[in-house]
Structure 1
Amino acid sequence: MFTTKFWFVVVTSMLIPIRDSILEGGCKSIETLLNLFFYWDAWLNACVAIERAVNAYKGISFNQKKSKRFARWIIFILPILIMATIIHEPLYRKSFKHGLIREVTSSEDLDAKKSVIGDIWCLADYSPAVQDYSTTILFIHLLGPFIANLFSALFIIISSARRRAGVQTQQTYRQHIREQWQEHKQLVISPIILLLLSTPRLVISLIYGCVDVSRSVWLYLSAYFISFVPSVLMFVIFVLPSSSYRTTFKETISRICHRRAS
């Protein structure tokens, strides 16, 4: 969806006659779907973190079949719930042509007279009440997964250390905490990185209406692109910092290469 959004912006920025209905439809649908998948991705990661914490709590009594059944329902229900919270976006979004009307000759058709030289913006014209609601929803979708990831990671570290302290009494509880921290620290560091990379999206929402966008185009574009870095670099943020994930990844790649060779 991010690639679709990128090429839609590129094509609409060219001096190519495009129907207003296509511009309006793309503005309303692509941006809404992009936000849907962006939030869905974050909440799925949070669900994985919660499942990991439940697994650490229950240990050998963890019901994997029940967990898979819950996962199927969550994958189905989650996008519906997210879409219900951002249903206002396509209603208030509209395309806006910023530029000068091109001079035409009498031989050109009527549609050409509507063509505009300049930038085409996809703007959300919110009322103050809807803007407050949109900002609140943004905080929920960004801070909610972060809190779920952080507390799940801390729960795993503390519960694992407490369980080992009861069995391996030759070490102190603080030593077990340090060992568990070294083993699972990426579970704490990764959500913090995700939140920091998502901060520009919050800043844009909070200063909406206070800054002239036309005078800070590159600032807004940079913050917009940075907010998608977590989704693009999920492998770098979650897999590479973890020794266990890296080992599993290497083993999986080796199995795939072995199957193809055979």
Structure 2
Amino acid sequence: MILFGLKCWILIFSQMTIISNRTFLRIQCITLDFLLQSCLNMDQWLNACVAGERAYTIIKGTRFQKKKSKKAAKIIIIILIIVIISTSIYDPFYRRLIDEENDDEIRIWCIITYSSSLKTFHSAIHSFHFIAPFVINLVSSIVLITRKSRQQSNLRTDRTYYQLLRQQLREHKNLLIAPVILVILALPRLIISYISNCMKSASNPWIYLILYFISFIPPMLTFIIYVLPSKFYK
């Protein structure tokens, strides 16, 4: 949220020419977008890890060990940080500032110029960070619901497995709906990574910017989508 707000205000002020220091704009162009992208990827993977741990807890049942889980979580977080940074470390080296002149007005934009091979690699990595957490999240939710239904069916002989499954689906439907909503809202970010045409007109950049900022909505909706619908927190 802080990085997103900072990026948003820097963009607004730079377009209003309130901020025109090229050194400052170049530094934020190189660092801020890289950090934003890394944080977004980290957010998606952490959500996937939480979903995975929920499913693992149900599978292990009473054999679940909290201490081992905490230790594993620390290791996984370190691995995620290393992987996410290493798969996008090249990004800052290909960022630069350009001046766009329109009707006696000069706008400064931060752009990326990849070679065709690097762009393919970037799109593939971006797709991986986008799709893999979503699949893990969705599969983990399905495992949690089905496993919990199976456990209850062994204890409650008065109800069938499918009746309990429907009940669990109603109770935990937010776990299935939330990942789908988040991935739909994040789609503009994936689409942008595959768009290669250059923006020529004064109006076109704003289309890209709107899509770009829409893609930051999912991390802001985590509380609304996951916590508020859950009966556990009420």
2:144 alignment partner in structure 1? 156
1:1-262 matches, within 5 Å, as 1-16=3-18, 18-99=20-101, 117-209=105-197, 212=200, 214-245=202-233, 247=234
Taking a change above 3 Å as real, the CA distance of residues 19 and 216 of structure 1, as seen in their structure-2 partners, is closer
Give, as a single letter, the amino acid of the residue that structure 2 aligns with 1:133: F
Offset of residue 101 of structure 1: 11
Q: CA offsets per residue over residues 92-111 of structure 1, 9 Å max, x none?
A: 11111112798xxxxxxxxx
Q: CA offsets per residue over residues 7-35 of structure 1, 9 Å max, x none?
A: 22123223347443222211010000010
Give, as a single letter, the amino acid of the residue that structure 1 aligns with 2:133: P
Q: Percent identity?
A: 40
* Bigger radius of gyration among the two: 1
Paired residue secondary structure (1:86): coil
Where relative contact order (Cα < 8 A, 6+ residues apart) is larger, the structure is: 2
Paired residue secondary structure (1:121): strand
Q: Residues of 1 paired with 2:19 and 2:134: CA distance?
A: 43
> Does the 8 Å contact 1:153/1:188 carry over to 2?
yes
- Which ranges in structure 2 are unaligned for 5 or more consecutive residues? none
Q: Residues of 1 paired with 2:36 and 2:29: CA distance?
A: 11
1:106 alignment partner in structure 2? none
- Number of matched pairs: 232
Q: Residues of 1 paired with 2:9 and 2:91: CA distance?
A: 21
Q: CA offsets per residue over residues 127-169 of structure 1, 9 Å max, x none?
A: 1111111111111111111001100000001111111112212
Offset of residue 189 of structure 1: 0.5
Give, as a single letter, the amino acid of the residue that structure 2 aligns with 1:238: Y
> Does the 8 Å contact 1:139/1:202 carry over to 2?
yes
Q: Residues of 2 paired with 1:210 and 1:99: CA distance?
A: 15
> Does the 8 Å contact 1:230/1:237 carry over to 2?
no
TM-score after normalising by structure 1: 0.83
Q: Residues of 1 paired with 2:190 and 2:81: CA distance?
A: 21
Taking a change above 3 Å as real, the CA distance of residues 213 and 221 of structure 1, as seen in their structure-2 partners, is farther
Offset of residue 218 of structure 1: 2.9
**CA root-mean-square deviation:** 1.9
> Does the 8 Å contact 1:12/1:120 carry over to 2?
yes
Give, as a single letter, the amino acid of the residue that structure 2 aligns with 1:225: F
> Does the 8 Å contact 1:94/1:123 carry over to 2?
yes
Q: Residues of 1 paired with 2:70 and 2:226: CA distance?
A: 22
